[in-house]
Every structure is written in C-alpha cells, then in structure tokens.
Amino acid sequence: MTQTKIALSIEEAAEYTGIGRNTLRNLVKWKKLPVLQVGRKVLIKTDILEHFMEVNEGRDLRDKNTVRAITRRTTT
C-alpha cells in the first residue's frame, strides 16, 4: 500500500515540483512559502505547495519582488 505524504522536506519538494532546492530555501527565507519547522528540518505541506504554484504561475520565483506570498489558513 502506497501512502501519500502530507508534508515534504525541501529536497522532496524540489523533486516533486521541479523547483530547485536553493530557490525553495529562498522562498522560505523570504516568507513567501509557509513551512513547519521541526528542529532543523523544514517541512512544506503538499496542499500549500500546490496552492503556491497555482498562485505564482507564470512568475519568476527567483525574483523576490514578483513572487506572491501565501499564508496558511489557521483556525483557533
């Protein structure tokens, strides 16, 4: 039985999307892509990653000023 992960590491997200690891790290550093930090490990939820890609379709992800940030929906 194959299970789908709900969150990916930077390396896994790079392989999943085709976006380079350094570009993904920059997006996290620029606070354009919300992540879950577990110690030194950074996890990106797959649904957030897919939404981010839809919102930024056609944009240069290497240009901090053109990338649209997304936020995680939270309930309290």
What are the boundaries of each domain within the chain?
1-76
Write down the CATH number for the domain with range 1-76: 1.10.1660
18-29: string of b/e by CB count within 10 Å (b at 16+)?
A: ebeeeebebbbe
Helices of type H across 30-67: 46-55
- Of 14, 35, 34, nearest to 23 by C-alpha is 14
7: which strand partners? 45
pTM score, whole prediction? 0.86
37: which strand partners? 42
Q: What is the pLDDT along the chain (76 residues), one digit of tens a residue?
A: 567 889 999 999 999 999 999 999 999 999 999 999 999 999 999 999 999 999 999 999 999 999 999 987 655 5
